[in-house]
Structure 1
Amino acid sequence: MNKFLAVSVLSGALAAGLVIPFTGLAELGTEKVAESVDNLPQELKTDPVAVRSRIFAGDGTLIATMFEQHRVPVRLSQVSQIMRQAMVAIEDSRFYSHGALDAKGTLRALVRNQTGGEVQQGGSSITQQYVKMSLVEKARTAEERHAATAVTYQRKLTELRYAVALEKELSKDEILERYLNLANFGDGAYGVQAAAGHYFRTKAKDLTLPQAALLAGLVKNPTGYDPTNNLKRAQDRRNVVIRRMLELGVISLAQANSALRTPVIDLAKVRKVPNGCAGSRYPFYCEYVVSMLLDNPALGRSVKDREHYLKTGGLTVLTSIDPRIQAAAQASIDEHTKSGDSAIAAITVVEPGTGVVKAMVQSRTYGKGRNETAYNYNVEKSYAGGYGGFQNGSTMKAFVLAAAIQKGLPLDYRINSPAQIDLSGKKFTTCTGTTRDPDYRPQNSTKSGNLTMIEAAKASTNTYFLQLSQRTGLCAPATIAADLGMQNAQTLQPLDQVVSFTLGVGYVTPLMLSNAYATFAARGKYCRPFLITSVLDKSAKPVKIPGPLCRQAIAPEVADGVNRVLSAVMEPGGTGGRLNFGNWDLAGKTGTIQDNRAVWYAGYAPNLAAAAVVADANLPYTNLMHRHTLDGRDIADPTGSGTAGPLWQTAMQGALKGMPLRRFVAPNPRIVKGAVKELPPVNGMRPDEATNVLRRAGFEVTVADERVDSPETEGTVAYTDPRSRDGAAEGSLITLHLSGGD
């Protein structure tokens, strides 16, 4: 008997208003329907409602909103009473007095539908509508979406059974709250709070009668009644809602007439919420942050799952970007570049000691149009939009400096550095053996002579640093560079240990280089670049993210020595001397690659580090002097200091403004003088004899190709480099200069 009644009621309900013709249901037979009733589910399991996620800058300002459906859930108490009344009035006026099924409404719909010969009026309650919306929302595939909307009696029976169970579990207010948060209100707005902001730039709690009536009317047909699509249809529908509210006694005649006279909407005030990074203030930075989020297993098992969670999980993502410093870096780009330039410029700013990425800018704007790009020139290629870096020239000399100081070479370590040097076939040790270049004759573009480490850094003397890297070996500077985060930005493989390592190797990014130089500023403390400082779920609970990762990569005293040497670069007469400003302690290094395809300036204060690059970003790369422009003018003489340097200077000057003045720590005397040991005197000895003596003392030995004038016997040692009186660090390479006689 109970089953008979259930079948009877369900059959009547389905035939009445649940979009299934009565004759179609009757053909199934009572037994078939009864079997379906036996198999009905007992509980509606819903997915969490899709909620937008937001990405914020370090100061709390909004960077971007991510969503599949723009939705901001609110409690029912945060929805105006008139909005609740409007929704109930038009969709289910007896909502608070009936159960899951409105028998009177169903009967009324049955009579009208059968009289008219077709489905003219539905009988679904708000609870039933919420069940249907939930099932559609839960669908992930086309098949699941079809099943959730198919016109079948099985689906309608299922929905009704779910509704019955839901009414036992939740109060009417709880159901209405869920309904208002889940409903589609058209034009990309989901949920009443997002709809209020979208159409009226207000909140759900402040909605007025005419506004509430418009929104309530939209739910039946979000596209058809969308005022941005058809203002007349939207007004007609809104007025239907107002009249229904008057009919039910919810509002007075005066209220109704006033609402009917009110303009439907001011289309100029409709607020589209940008979705994703393309509409962000910082699109390139935003996309890089998103790529890191999609790499985080805490957001899901697969990239697809993580992307879905990011767009539906209501996450609050706080990032490292500092809008003030970002603005300073952008101002530098704006001052020194033009949108139509054929060369590109990019700058990244990092905080020493934390790895916090404070700014990331570039000269080409985000987009697919002319002079726009989707490439981020600041980051590695492994990220989908990452360009993958540029060759960085002599900025690599800093790592050879660090290796030399770490080895114990003094800051006044002298090497005879001619304008050109023949290194063809010369042996350079690596981490795995040795390497040679069969035909390599590098030359200087600046000062030559018998220079100290400081003098050579100041002038960026190539032949000095090549010989210095021969003395340190390539393993030590390559290891230091790797420890400071330097790697090939195209492949993420270690930088090649080649003879020309100190003059630039592989492809690196402004992010890598600025962060590596920040390590020197932080007295050897390396921190992995840190962009995402916290992620909270929609319940404000922390989501696990990679935290700061810092370690002492090089000894503080070694970093102090590097800072002293690179500070000289920015002194008068140094390659970066024109870039000095204020009373800041500044250090830096120029970088120009072969054929001038890219120029760099990387430098730092104790507070901030930055790297700026100007490059040809087109394939095949060409010399910047060849038909390339920057700031709307031809690049006549591209240099690290003269072309990239001003970008670095303007950005850093603005970024450091207002920050406390800090100083580099002076290197201790041991670093300045070096950890030298006595060098055995070998003048006048045969080369093999001298080599044995020096190797027993702990030194490496090589013999110069050309002989020198000397009173010593021809073929014996005339002198060593370094000289015996100066000593040398243990393991240093000692060059024997043989006498050619008087």
Structure 2
Amino acid sequence: MRTDRGGRSKTRALVTFLAVSVMSGALAAGLAVPFAGLAGVGSEKVVETVQTLPRELEIEPVAVRSRILAADGTVIATLYEQNRLPVPLSYISPIMRKAIVAIEDSRFYEHGALDLKGTLRAMLRNQTAGDVQQGGSSITQQYVKLSLVEKAKTAEERHRATAVTYERKLTELRYAIAVESQYSKDEILERYLNVVNFGDGAYGVQAAAQHYFRTTAKNLTLPQAALLAGLVKNPTGYDPTNSMARAKARRDVVIRRMLELKVISPHQANVALKTPVIDPDRVLKVPNGCASSKYPFYCEYVVSKLLQNPALGRTVKDREHYLKTGGLTVTTSLDRRIQKAAQASIDEHSKRTDSAVAAITVVEPGTGLVKAMVQSRPYGRGSFQTAYNYNVEKSYPGGFGGFQNGSTMKAFTVAAAISKGIPLDYRINSPQQINLSGKKFRTCTGWTRDPDYTPQNSTQGGNLTMVEAARYSTNTYFLQLSQRVGLCAIAKTAQALGMYNGQTLEPLDQVISMTLGVGYVTPLMLSNAYATFAARGKYCKPLLVTAVLDKSRRPIKTPGIECKQALKPEVADGVNRVLSAVMEPGGTGGRLNFGNWDLAGKTGTIQENKAVWYAGYAPNLAAAAVVADANLPYTNLMYRHTLDGRDISDPTGSGTAGPLWRTAMEGALDGMSLRRFVAPRPTTADGDRQEIPPIHGLNPDEAEDKLRQAGFDVVIADDRVRSPENEGTVAYTDPRAREGAPEGSLITVYLSDGD
């Protein structure tokens, strides 16, 4: 009996539900499922469907387009899967609300989830016509269907949400009842107008108003509202950008329906019917993605940083989806004025058709904010275009990974030397060529040497101070200085200032020629490292994303300005003095000086002229410019390469990359407040020299022991020298005892040959 009662209960539930469903049109012919569709359906199957229907619709947020902004709030890119910008009902014009209700569900405010009268009328008309002439779904039911489609994450789920089956209709029916009990009519209408597809890629009424009319949902006129309301039935077929005639015919149906319902007057209808549908020239396409941005390379690098932020999702795929659907507002550090100045430099000194490429990055000292990023080859897949960003590391598909940086590395040798107490007037005899074959250089793990290394200068040599050697970029000076300072100290200094291999993302190699350029370095990396000198030793991680807000304007956690004191201020002041000499008359960067600014910098030319650099800074800004061959295998710039449409006959850091740096920096600094470098302390300029104990005439073991006890590192030179001292005893040291040396310095001991 219990089973019979249960069966009768199920039957009553089925009969009641199906009766309401049929009467409401949920299963009516011509609406979604023909009556005949139920003929082969068993009652148990229908009962099962009815009883397992969910009672509440879990509505997920609709996809909303995100925006990337420059520092001044200007939109530089829009990202979306659906071009949508939700607005509250109060921001939607009353005439738009009336138009959509008139054509889609004129009794919307009178019935519940189901419009019995409207459904029966639609059913009769459709049966008479023999096909679907009029829909019976209420706005609530339509909203449910759209929500289910939005919620679908797979093709199978999307199919289920749109399948022509009684199960789908029954599900929509149950959901519609739940929605009507959960939300007011105005809330449902608001949600519906923000989710519906209005054709040509515009989702929601606000995006549609902007797209077709360059207006807002709040300011839509009668003919505009009628057009949008008419699009809902067939967004593609009635799209005015596809067919103006079909769009007008459908719009006029809406206007006449509004007149029939007395929503508008005959005069309003007549005026609206005579109004042109759209002005094709005013249709506004909302660009999607970084490729459509005015700053595509900067934008893509920003996106790569966002995809590393776990606050946007558990996986990269989740973050990418959220970025395109979450309605985020991403503010960046891009300064459009500085970007314009940097771009003007690229335009003045290069052409997109050049075989060589040029790139410039500008960074703000003391914050790490990346103000500008430009390059000579534009974004694209065509001829003389590229998808590679030549300014950044290879941490994402578009990152090129840098170029060897040449003598710009000497700045880190200077910083390491000053940190060890070596004075700015420290002299080293620096001949035009030097034999370093087999010479030992200290690394962080031991020693390294090159069995055959005889480097030479491309500029002036002599018995030079550190300042003079930097001014002339004397290779043999800095190689000897790096031997005395140690490669480990240079590597640690560079690493503390954010330098690493832009291809492998590993630390720079500690090789004998490190001070002349090593690994692959990017303009972003180098400009930010030099910004540390300008900021008196304060290193800040490069920062492009300064804020992220969700669609409710709530902040999302994102890395902010992150700085540390990487160098003592007095050390950075010393570096600034040394690198300022580069830009004084007679220096390799002397022709790049301008205005009353305190400027410092360094040239860089890599072996065989495959890339040339100029990196420099004022207290306000730092920038690095590079000109290079970006095609594998890299070739010498002076052989069959052009810049600004002309053959590169003599590629140099100062003459080739330098003008790009100067023009960019001159424009970027224009209008900024004049600031000065802090002069180095006398103790920094004079160094911290310790007395070298006398060891002349001692045997090597005794000499080494004495020097190590005094706090020095020691290496015994392989070659013996002429000296009155006994053979095999100490002839002299480098540096000489009378000069002294900072504690921990490398003392090279030369033994006498006895002559």
Normalising by structure 1, we get a TM-score of: 0.98
Secondary structure (helix, strand or coil) at the match of 2:208 reads helix
Per-residue CA deviations over 1:429-474 (Å, capped at 9, x if unaligned) read 1111111111111111111111111111111111111111111111
Q: Is 1:57 aligned to residue 70 of structure 2?
A: yes
2:31/2:123 contact within 8 Å kept: no
Asked if 2 retains the 8 angstrom alpha-carbon contact of 1:410 and 1:674, the reply is yes
8 Å contact from structure 1 (residues 213, 238) kept in 2 = yes
Report 1:201-220 matches (<5 A): 201-220=214-233
Q: Partner of 2:559: helix, strand, or coil? A: coil
Q: Specify the code of the residue in structure 1 equivalent to 2:21.
A: L
Report the residue type matching 1:401 in the other structure: V
1:708 to partner: Cα distance: 5.4
Mapped pair 1:480 → 2:498? no
Residue 148 (structure 1) aligned to one of 151, 155, 161: 161
- Pair 1:694-2:707 in alignment: yes
The alignment partner of 1:365 has SS state of coil
Residues 16 and 109, structure 1, Cα contact 8 Å, conserved in 2: no
Kept in 2: contact 1:17–1:123 (CA 8 A): no
Aligned equivalent of 1:455: 468
Distance 1:164 1:696 in 2: 90
- Find the aligned partners of 2:40 and 2:198 in 1 and give their Cα distance: 37
Deviation for aligned residue 1:357: 0.5
Task: Report Cα offsets for 1:236-255 as digits up to 9, x if no partner.
Answer: 11111111111111111111
Q: How does 1:56-455 map to 2 (within 5 A)?
A: 56-455=69-468
Residue 21 (structure 2) aligns with: 10
Identify if the C-alpha distance between structure 1 residues 464 and 112 changes in structure 2 by more than 3 Å, giving closer, same or farther: same
* Matches for 1:579-594 after TM superposition, within 5 Å: 579-594=592-607
- Bigger drift between 561-570 and 693-702 goes to 693-702
Provide the residue aligned with 1:468 in structure 2: 481
**Structure 1 residue 702 displacement after superposition:** 3.5
Does the aligned pair in 1 maintain the 2:68–2:76 contact within 8 Å? yes
Q: Deviations over 1:194-225 (max 9, x none)?
A: 00000000011111111111100000000000
Offset at residue 739 of structure 1 (A): 5.3
Of 243-252 and 141-150, deviating more is 243-252
CA distance in 1, matches of 2:700, 2:14: 110
Structure 1 contact 596–624 (Cα < 8 Å) conserved = yes
**What does the per-residue CA deviation read over 1:154-181, in whole Å, with 9 as the maximum and x for residues that have no partner?**
1001101111111111111111111100
Which segment is superposed worse, 498-507 or 718-727?
718-727
TM-score by length of 2: 0.96
Whole-Å separation in 1 of the counterparts to 2:289 and 2:32:
38
What is the CA distance between 1:185 and its match in structure 2?
A: 0.2
Q: Is the 8 A contact 1:397 1:503 kept in 2?
A: yes
- Aligned pairs (5 A) from 1:494-533: 494-533=507-546
Number of residue equivalences: 742
Which whole-Å deviations, capped at 9, do the CAs of 1:655-700 have from their partners, x for residues lacking one?
1111111111111111111111112233454555444433332223
- The answer on whether the counterparts of 1:80 and 1:207 sit within 8 Å (CA) in structure 2 is yes
Deviation at 1:117, TM superposition (A): 3.4
Aligned: 1:648 with 2:661: yes
Match of 2:648 in 1: 635
> The residue matched to 1:100 in structure 2 has which SS?
coil
**SS at 1:15 equivalent:** coil
Give the partner amino acid of 1:11. Answer: V
SS at match of 2:28: helix
Task: Report the 3-state secondary structure (helix = DSSP H, G, I; strand = E; otherwise coil) of the residue aligned with 2:412.
Answer: helix
Q: Deviations over 1:501-555 (max 9, x none)?
A: 1011100100000111111111111111011100000111110111221111111
1:620 maps onto 2:633 in alignment:
yes
Shift of 1:34: 3.7
CA deviation string 1:5-38 (max 9, x = no partner): 3221213321145311111124325554344222
User: Contact 2:30–2:126 at 8 Å: present in 1 too?
Assistant: yes
Deviations 1:696-737 (A, max 9, x none): 322233445666565656665444322222211112222344
After TM superposition, what 4+ stretches of structure 1 lie above 6 angstroms from structure 2? Answer: none
Q: Is the partner of 2:584 in helix, strand or coil?
A: coil
Instruction: Determine the C-alpha separation between the residues in 2 that align with 1:674 and 1:221.
Output: 80
Deviation at 1:320, TM superposition (A): 0.5
Answer yes or no: is the 8 Å Cα contact 1:21–1:119 preserved in 2. no
User: CA–CA distance in 1 between the matches of 2:612 and 2:682?
Assistant: 35
SS at match of 1:641: helix
Runs of 5+ consecutive residues of structure 1 not aligned to the other structure: none
Cα deviations by residue, 1:82-117 (Å, 9 ceiling, x for unpaired): 111111111111111111111111111221222333
Give, in whole Å, the separation in 2 of the partners of 1:468 and 1:33: 88
SS in 2 for 1:601: strand
Distance 2:337 2:319 in 1: 31
Matched position secondary structure for 1:551: strand
How much does 1:71 deviate? 0.6
Classify 1:431/1:247 alpha carbon distance in 2 versus 1 (closer, same or farther; 3 Å).
Answer: same
Q: In the alignment, is the contact (CA less than 8 A) between 2:440 and 2:715 conserved in 1?
A: no
Any conservation in 2 of the 1:7–1:37 contact (CA below 8 Å)?
no
What does the per-residue CA deviation read over 1:38-78, in whole Å, with 9 as the maximum and x for residues that have no partner?
22211111110111100000111111001101111111111
Matched-pair contact (CA < 8 Å) for 1:11–1:25: no
Asked if structure 1 preserves the Cα contact closer than 8 Å seen for 2:420 and 2:485, the reply is yes
Q: Determine the structure 1 residue equivalent to 2:687.
A: 674
Provide the C-alpha distance between the structure 2 equivalents of 1:109 and 1:22, rounded to a whole number of angstroms: 14
Alignment RMSD (CA, Å): 1.6
| Contact preservation (8 Å) 1:7, 1:34 | no
SS of 1:278's equivalent in the other structure is: helix
Indicate the SS of the match to 1:55.
strand
Distance 1:210 1:153 in 2: 37
Point out where structure 2 has 5 or more consecutive residues left out of the alignment: 1-11
Shift of 1:270: 0.4
Partner of 1:48: 61
CA distance, structure 2, for counterparts of residue 362 and residue 566 of structure 1: 26
**1:415–1:210 CA distance, 2 compared to 1 (3 A):** same
Output the CA distance in 2 between the equivalents of 1:718 and 1:27: 110
Structure 1 counterpart SS, 2:290: coil
Q: Deviations over 1:376-427 (max 9, x none)?
A: 0000111220000000011111111111111111111111111111111111
User: Partners in 1 of 2:703 and 2:166 — Cα distance?
Assistant: 101
CA contact (8 A) 2:352 2:384 kept: yes
Are the counterparts in 2 of residues 289 and 531 from structure 1 also a CA contact under 8 Å?
yes
Shift of 1:334: 0.7
Counterpart secondary structure, 1:502: helix
**In 2, are the aligned partners of 1:348 and 1:514 still within 8 Å (CA)?**
yes
* Aligned 8 A contact 1:712 1:741 in 2: yes
C-alpha separation in 1, matches of 2:446 and 2:750: 25
Deviations 1:272-296 (A, max 9, x none): 0000101111100000000111111
CA contact (8 A) 1:348 1:511 kept: yes
Residues 33-42 or 172-181, more deviating: 33-42
Tell me, what secondary structure is at the counterpart of 1:321? coil
1:697/1:32 CA distance change after superposition, 3 Å: closer
Identity of aligned residues (%): 77
**Alpha carbons 1:576, 1:645 under 8 Å: kept:** yes
Q: C-alpha separation between the residues in 2 aligned to 1:718 and 1:577? A: 41
The reply on whether 1:534 has 2:555 as its aligned counterpart is no
Q: Is contact 1:17-1:124 (8 Å) kept?
A: no
